[in-house]
Amino acid sequence: MIAIVLLGPPGAGKGTVAEVLAEKGYTHVSTGQLLREQIQQGTQLGLEAKKLMDQGAFVPDDVVVGMIRSLLEEANPEQKFLFDGFPRTLSQAEKLDELLESLNGTLGEVILLECPDHVVVERLSGRRTCEKCGTIYHTKYNPPKTEGICNLDGAPLLQRPDDKEETIKNRLEVYETQTAPLVSYYQSHGLIHSIDATQPIQNVRKAVLEKLG
Ligand code: AP5
């Protein structure tokens, strides 16, 4: 079992890059998406997560680690995982190391998508997501062929509730205090590969594919 981690601030383009890696055989695991599914299903976990996510705060570590543990324990030993939005705290990173070790898995690479705050704000304000298949668009940088409609399945495109300006600000602050320290953690393990995520989408995707060989 091999895991790759996509690290970077909200809106850096983790989900956009993950779409192409999923086509290369990686199992894309977005903890944000897993939590949004719980919200859609109206579960207790979803109700509690929604309150935190709408404020731009993190869901507790034990909840998120529990979801990842179940996934990895049920996985095929040959599976290649791409984590998007996990780990997000030092505690989650340590738990991931322990989990992989117990399952004879390896953390292959950590791809850091570097993107300044002003770019993040513009990207998140223009983001639209297909309500059915989750494909990510941008009103300016990656527009659908027909406004408001997914190219792949014709379903409506929605704006995420946490993409409001004041929530984006909180998410950036939380990233800086809780997630940015993971860069030094993974640097000390020799695993970080930084990519300039301000480049056009195709260039970022190409750079990530090249890093992963
Ligand atoms: P999550 O869904 O993971 O959100 P995030 O990390 O804030 O990241 P985003 O999905 O907002 O952005 P992205 O980097 O994927 O960018 P995207 O590709 O969409 O988490 C949501 C919430 O869930 C968290 O706030 C937290 O509450 C909770 N949560 C999740 N995981 C957790 C965990 N592990 N622990 C605790 N809580 C957790 O791109 C953004 C836009 O930019 C799109 O419109 C796209 O088209 C455009 N774009 C992308 N790349 C480019 C480019 N190169 N040029 C121009 N435009 C681009």
State yes or no: is 14 an active-site residue. Answer: yes
Helix (H) or strand (E) segment spanning residue 128:
strand 127-130
Locate 23 and state its tokens.
């086509």
User: Which residue from 102, 45, 98, 94 is spatially nearest to 77, judged by alpha carbons?
Assistant: 102
142 within ligand 1 shell (Cβ under 6 A): yes
- CATH 3.40.718.10 for domain 2-115+179-211: no
pTM, whole model, 2 decimals?
A: 0.94
Q: What is the pLDDT of residue 197?
A: 98
- With a 6 Å cutoff on the Cβ, whether 127 touches ligand 1 is yes
Q: Whose CA is nearest to atom 53 of ligand 1?
A: 201
List pLDDT tens digits, range 31-74. Answer: 999 999 999 999 999 999 999 999 999 999 999 999 999 999 99
Is 24 one of the annotated active-site residues of the chain? no
What pLDDT sits at residue 173? 97
- Judge whether 36 counts as a catalytic residue: no
Residue with tokens 């090249």: 210
105 and 1 in contact (C-beta within 8 Å)?
yes
With tokens 């480049």, the residue in question is: 199
Q: Do 56 and 174 contact (CB within 8 A), yes or no?
A: yes
CA–CA distance, 68 with 112 (Å, rounded to integer): 20
Instruction: Give me ligand 1 centre to Cα 187, in Å.
Output: 22
Q: Which residues of the chain have pLDDT under 70?
A: none
160 is catalytic: yes
- Paired sense of beta strands 136-138 and 157-158, if any: unpaired
Alpha helices in 43-116 (DSSP H): 44-55, 61-73, 90-102
Domain ranges of the chain: 2-115+179-211
Q: Is the CB of 105 under 6 A from ligand 1?
A: no
